[in-house]
Structure 1
Amino acid sequence: MLISCNNKGCLKGSSALLKEDTMEVICQECGLPITNISDSMKRALKSFGQIVRSNERKASLLHCRSCRANRDIVLDQNNNTVCKICYSPITITPAFKMTMEEAGSGFERIDTSKQKTTKK
């Protein structure tokens, strides 16, 4: 869907993309948010699949039940795998853990005893 950018210096028509987390429409020509887009147009962009997609794809992203999203995993002070964001435990097989260490990507280590976590 062709949308006109309202940013000074751009003012071009492009296939704008919807940023789902902030619900902003981004111009593909200048990279700035377009401000005069209605909610119904944003829903149309989403239904047409014109959304900003993340280029980050890591092998160590696993589903965290607390965050309800795919997150990077790290090791705590007890060598347990935890979510990098909320520090909830994530269970993985020893074979997967060994494969990650052999691949060279390894795991970042953090000390969760000093981190404050909130329980829901």
Structure 2
Amino acid sequence: MLITVDPSSDRPLADQVAASVRAAVARGAAGPGDRLPSARTVAAALDINLHTVLRGYQQLRDEGLIELRRGRPAVITGSADGARLRLADAAEEFARAARGLGASDEAALAAVREALATR
């Protein structure tokens, strides 16, 4: 299935649903015009609440990654940019690592600036 979650993760399930779709677009497994499974189908397959899936889909809609219309399947928009999504995923992973290490926002940003300056 395109969408997966890890119930043992500290990350909210709705965020995991959205991240799964972002990752699929980033790696080219899904693209503009592709339909997502219905929220009911995802909820049943993953044994999670329907509203949790809908929250994940709403995040993607708010980001402009999918189009949601009542009574119609969610569709990945033409503006879905795999490179931008890969960069956003890398930034999110870096931010989690920085938080895990106890780095301040300033220290984390300084590390990114330094890395960009040396590349």
Alignment TM class, shorter chain as reference: under 0.3
Q: When you count helix as a share of all residues, which structure comes out higher?
A: 2
**Of the two structures, which has the highest relative contact order with CA contacts closer than 8 Å and spacing of 6 or more?**
2
TM-score normalised over the length of structure 2? 0.23
Q: When you count strand as a share of all residues, which structure comes out higher?
A: 1
Which has the larger Rg? Answer: 1
